[in-house]
Every structure is written in structure tokens, then in C-alpha cells.
Amino acid sequence: MTQKTALITGITGQDGSYLAEFLLEKNYIVHGIKRRASSFNTQRVDHVYQDPHVDNARFKLHYGDLSDTSNLIRIIQETQPDEIYNLAAQSHVAVSFESPEYTADVDGLGTLRLLEAIRILGMEKKTRFYQASTSELYGLVQETPQRETTPFYPRSPYAVAKLYAYWITVNYREAYGMYACNGILFNHESPRRGETFVTRKITRGLANISQGLEQSLYMGNLDALRDWGHAKDYVRMQWMMLQQEQAEDFVIATGVQYSVRQFIEKTAVALGMDISWQGSGLDEVGYWNGNAIIRIDPRYFRPTEVESLVGDASRAEGKLGWVPEISLDEMIAEMAAHDLAEAKKQALLRTNGYSVSVTQE
């Protein structure tokens, strides 16, 4: 079989790092786009780094940005990818209310820039394109569970930008016969999840509290319901979607829904902490060992919230044979163990007189 080349945007993020690992195991040559930052930002892929000076290196990073058209054209021209996975995005829903224009530019127009680059370079028939679409498109839900045919109703600048990206991907498929498809992925997490998304904020926050590094965890809407899967399962599906005869869009989800409050409770169990709740609304408090460790801060509520999401991935299961392999409890155990080990390290440093700062957002 001929060796394939993939280009991953967002390779330094959660999904990008798991996908890079997955493709390297499949003997791909993997190119990734990383942003220039004032300090190193490649921690999630450092373990797959290969010295570019050695022969046959199969992993290579290129500086770039989804807001920079000429840079994207040049990278695609140089790397000649068989598959492009567009995972780069300003991916935080709450932040998109603070930076709506930037989010539209990167998450919406960034997708167009990549599709146009493929077309400008005459690579429509060579290069397959995966777009990281999202369950946030369903927003104010019109049908439960959500499937490929459920109407969209985006509820944030992030989701509206991703709506444009979704449709421009469909349009380029229909207009130019490109192999371009959307994975409509429900929330997926892992120990590599960014620290400000709710699951990681909880596993990290409770682990820190258990080791005396923090006093309280401040949360927003505990009643929000999400369908949480594991990122490893979901990147496998991203690859599968580009291996079909015809490009199609698929929902990827577990089909099971839990509240943020339940996620906290499950994490507490994984960490051996016994949490009890008192009060309601903004006055709800979670107690552990007589201490108020979970409090509500209205700052974390969103101007328009997505209250409830749960996906129906039966099309992916039927057509591609995809089913998630890692359960929510297994994932929480993995995330909690990871963050507990980190917290213990920090606590040890503090005990030995080193200063340790713990940030929360």
C-alpha cells in the first residue's frame, strides 16, 4: 500500500495530538500546523516529535495560522497532503462571546481558506478534507436525540462560525466534487483536554482540592446536560470518515447524557471524595469534609446556553461500524488519576518549600 500524507491543523490541541499518534501508527507521513507563540506550545505532541534532520522523519510541524491564506496555500503546496484534517479553531464557546469576530475569522473563514487553497492548487481530486463540526450546531435543540437530519439552531458566536464552516464544506463537495465531509462530534474529553473546559476543570480542580492546593472550585451551570465521549474514540472516527467511497457527514456521540453536577459526583467518587450538596441556584454549595469546596460564580454562565445535548450515532455505527470503546466512567478514572498524580507532584514541591501557583478559570 502506498504511504499516505496527512496535514492536521490544530495538531497541538487535544484531538490533533491523538490523531497524529493514530496516523503515525498507520504509517502516515504527518504534517501539522502550529501557531507561533512566545513560549513552547507543543507539549501534547512532544512525545511523537521526530528530529527533522534525520532521514525518513514522518512527523513535521510548520508555522501557520488559519487567518493567513497565503501561508495555508504554501503549506498545502509543499506538503501535498492526501488528507487534510481541519481541527484548528478558537474552540471555547464562552470565549467566543468575548472574541466573536476572531472566532468567526478562524472557525468560519479559516475553513473556507483551506478549501479554496485546495481548489487554487488544483488538488480537488487528490486531497480529502475533514471538517471538525460540532454538536453545538444544534444549540437550542429541535429534536432529541440529535442526528444528521436534526435542524441546526446555533447559540453562540462559536456555533454560528462553525455553521458557516459546516455549510461551506458541504458546498465545496457539491460544487466541485471534492471529497469533503463533516464530523458532527459531541463533546469528547481526555487527560489532554484544555484545563478550562468543564470536565478537565472538574477533574483538575477536585484533584487539587484533595491535595490541599486549592480551597474551592467555582462553577457555572451545573444543570447543563452533555453527551461526553473519549477523544481517542472520536479521532479514530475522523480517519474512518475519510476512508469511504463517498464523502458523507456523520454524527459521533455515545447516546448517553449526564449533567455537569453528575460529572462532579462521578469525579469525586473516582478520587475517593464524599461530596454532599446544599442550597439551590446561585446558592448551591458542594461540601467535602465539612468544607465548602464547590461554589457557583455567575461569571461562568453564558449569555445563551446550550442546555441539553445527546447524539444518535446509529448512522456511523451502521455504515462505518463505529462504536465508542471507552466508557464515561473509564474516562473519568483516567482523567482523575492523571490530575491527581499532577496535584501530588505540586503538593510535594510546595511541602519542600518551592512556590507553586495554581490557576483556575
Q: Is 91 in the site for ligand NDP (CB under 6 A)?
A: yes
Which residues are CB-neighbours of 10 under 8 A, at least 6 positions away?
16, 33, 86, 87, 88, 89, 132
Q: Is 188 in the site for ligand NDP (CB under 6 A)?
A: yes
CB of 130 to ligand GDR, least distance (A): 15
Please report where in the chains the cell 534532520 appears, as a residue: 53
Q: Is 89 in the site for ligand NDP (CB under 6 A)?
A: yes
Instruction: Check residue 349 and give left, alpha or beta (phi > 0: left; psi -120 to 50: alpha).
Output: alpha
User: Exactly one of 6, 45, 87, 224 binds ligand NDP (CB under 6 A); which one?
Assistant: 87
Q: Report which secondary-structure segment, H or E, holds 259.
A: strand 258-259
CB of 307 to ligand GDR, least distance (A): 7
The catalytic position among 83, 136, 189, 265 is 136
From the list ligand NDP, ligand GDR, none, partner contacted by residue 84 (C-beta under 5 to 8 A by kind): none
Phi, psi dihedral angles at 246 (to 5 degrees): -125, 145
Quick check: bond before 324 cis, omega within 30? no
Is-catalytic flag, 136?
yes
User: Rounded to whole angstroms, how far apart are CA atoms 146 and 307?
Assistant: 13
The catalytic position among 103, 111, 134, 199 is 134
Distances (CA, A) of 285 to 209, 212, 216, 226: 15, 18, 10, 21
Q: Is 249 in the site for ligand NDP (CB under 6 A)?
A: no
How many residues make contact with ligand NDP (CB under 6 A)? 26
Nearer of residues 135 and 190 to ligand GDR, judged by Cβ: 135
Is-catalytic flag, 158?
yes
Cβ–Cβ < 8 Å for 19, 8 = yes
Q: Is 146 in the site for ligand NDP (CB under 6 A)?
A: no
User: CA 291, 301, 108 angle in degrees (round to 5)?
Assistant: 135
Phi, psi dihedral angles at 85 (to 5 degrees): -110, 110
Q: Is 132 in the site for ligand NDP (CB under 6 A)?
A: yes
Q: Is 131 in the site for ligand NDP (CB under 6 A)?
A: no
Interface of this chain with ligand NDP, residues 23 to 82, rule: CB under 6 A: 33, 35, 37, 41, 65-67
Residues that bind ligand GDR (CB under 6 A): 91, 93-94, 134-136, 186-187, 196-198, 201, 219-221, 224, 226, 260, 300, 302, 305-306
Nearer of residues 21 and 293 to ligand NDP, judged by Cβ: 21
CB of 141 to ligand NDP, least distance (A): 16
User: Rounded to whole angstroms, how far apart are CA atoms 189 and 195?
Assistant: 11
From the list ligand NDP, ligand GDR, none, partner contacted by residue 220 (C-beta under 5 to 8 A by kind): ligand GDR
Q: Quick one: 314 exposed, middle or buried, by C-beta within 10 A (0-12, 13-18, 19+)?
A: middle
From the list ligand GDR, ligand NDP, none, partner contacted by residue 305 (C-beta under 5 to 8 A by kind): ligand GDR
Q: Is 233 in the site for ligand NDP (CB under 6 A)?
A: no
- Record the cell numbers describing residue 129, joined without a space: 478534507
Residue among 252, 259, 220, 234 at smallest CA distance from 94: 220
Residues at the contact surface with ligand NDP, assessed by CB under 6 A: 9-10, 12-16, 33, 35, 37, 41, 65-67, 87-91, 106, 132, 134, 185, 187-188, 194
Instruction: Tell me which residues are annotated as active site.
Output: 134, 136, 158
